[in-house]
Amino acid sequence: VISTLIRERNDELFERAKRVVPAGMYGHTFVGLNPPSYPQFFSRGKGCRVWDVDGNPYIDLMCAWGPMVLGYGDAEVEAAAARQRSAGDCLDGPSPVFVELAETLVESVPHADWSMFAKNGTDATTLAVRIARAGTGRDKVLMAHGAYHGVASWCADNKVGIAASEQSDTAYFEYNDLVSAEQAAAALAGQVAAIVVCPMRHDTRRDVELVDPEFARGVRALCDRIGAALILDEVRCGMRFDMRGTWEPIGVRPDLSAWSKAIANGYSLAAVLGIDALRQPATEIFTTGSFWFGGVAMAASLATLAGMRERDGVGRMSASGERLREGLREQATSHGLAIRLTGAPQMPMMLFARDDARLERSNAFAGACVENGVFLHPRHNWFLSAAHTAEDIDEALLATDVAFSVVRERFGAE
């Protein structure tokens, strides 16, 4: 049965926000394009659940858009963060955890010989690009059409407020199409500093495309041939597929990798990992931030990485994601609806085969899920965590079953 959620406090906050924040909200968490059932404001999270400001609970299949991997309020992560917080967070320089975390990452990620830290994914991808430019003495950067590497000027998809000159050194290729990457590189012969690529194609509003290993190997070989750095943007995938790096199972290692989201279970932290050959240019650039050396996020990260290893976080989220996908497939079939489930269990993407660009079925489905206590997104891939149990997934599937029946009722079968 579809509930009518109470939205009193949410709406009141939104009204107040509209007076003091442009549009009341901005960026990826803005719910303006979503069905009306979406809450904008949340009050708390625990395990794999979140509560909106009106007290409505949800099983969370967005995991704060990636950062939550062990569960909200994880006891070990919070204890490590609290210990560091009582000693000090933002001080005149880094705490010992800075070195411990760099050592841990260099030990666990095979391509990494060194690590640098920042706060957000955009910091990490942009820093990696700068190091590649410093190391090659070149300016051009190749990235895939439609890829998201953050909101910095060099890669931003929305061009509003960005001077054309800020993107004049960025050129594009098609993901999983090696010929297009080779052509883009040939058109800028001798000028390419880096090829930036995600471990899989996880653009919004379309099926997720896993990487073709031949493409990954080909891009690696192309970078070697033209003397450019291969930058792997692990911001979204990092620590959800393989703690050594998402491309490690296919044997392709980047020169630089950019990490954030999941590495500190929700604390603000980013890392750039790199190879020895780029250590010197990484030394020569000047980069920093007032909050980049805060120890709390680094202590949280050390506990997160340990927890992921000890609890087989990747295995757990993959098992619960697979259970979710199987359930969704069965339900869609029994409701006579054609869906496309793409990506991998840890980061599933579900679209309706009969939807056009308006994604009406996806919107109806996601809106009904929210009404029935499951938070997911109509246009973006979802995220699983190590905190989702089989019971949580079975409970979420009760809501998705109702949501499929809403789609079926509104749009008919198929």
Ligand X SMILES: Cc1ncc(COP(=O)(O)O)c(C=O)c1O
Regarding 149 and contact with ligand X (CB under 6 A), the answer is: yes
Regarding 313 and contact with ligand X (CB under 6 A), the answer is: no
Regarding 405 and contact with ligand X (CB under 6 A), the answer is: no
Regarding 121 and contact with ligand X (CB under 6 A), the answer is: yes
Give the whole-angstrom CA distance, residue 34 versus residue 29. 10
Binding letters toward ligand X, positions 55-94, x by CB under 6 A: ----------------------------------------
Regarding 342 and contact with ligand X (CB under 6 A), the answer is: no
* 150, 218, 348, 378: which one binds ligand X (CB under 6 A): 150
Closest alpha carbon to 36 in 2, 63, 74, 75: 2
Residue 203 Cβ vs ligand X, minimum distance, rounded to whole Å: 10
Residue 59 Cβ vs ligand X, minimum distance, rounded to whole Å: 22
Residue 259 Cβ vs ligand X, minimum distance, rounded to whole Å: 10
- DSSP of 12-66, one letter per residue? HHHHHHHHHSGGG--GGG--TTS-TT--S-EEEEEBTEEEETT--EEEESSGGGT
Residue 403's alpha-carbon distances to 17, 328, 412, in angstroms, are 31, 11, 13
Closest alpha carbon to 64 in 81, 44, 78: 44
Residue 213 Cβ vs ligand X, minimum distance, rounded to whole Å: 19
- The torsion defined by the Cα of 123, 129, 132 and 137, in degrees rounded to 10, comes to -120
State how beta strands 57-60 and 42-46 pair: unpaired
Comparing CB distances to ligand X, the nearer of 80 and 198 is: 198
Binding letters toward ligand X, positions 204-233, x by CB under 6 A: -----------------------------x
The burial class, CB within 10 Å (0-12 / 13-18 / 19+), for 164 is: exposed
Regarding 148 and contact with ligand X (CB under 6 A), the answer is: yes
φ/ψ of residue 132, rounded to 5? -65, -40
Residue 411 Cβ vs ligand X, minimum distance, rounded to whole Å: 30
Give the whole-angstrom CA distance, residue 374 versus residue 352. 18
Contacts of 388 by beta carbon, 8 Å cutoff, 6+ apart: 48, 59, 316, 317, 320, 321
Residue 140 Cβ vs ligand X, minimum distance, rounded to whole Å: 19
Regarding 348 and contact with ligand X (CB under 6 A), the answer is: no
Residue of minimal CB distance from ligand X? 121
Comparing CB distances to ligand X, the nearer of 120 and 389 is: 120
Residue with tokens 């980049």: 292
* 260, 301, 320, 363: which one binds ligand X (CB under 6 A): 260
Residues in contact with ligand X by CB under 6 A are 120-122, 125, 148-150, 198, 233, 235-236, 260
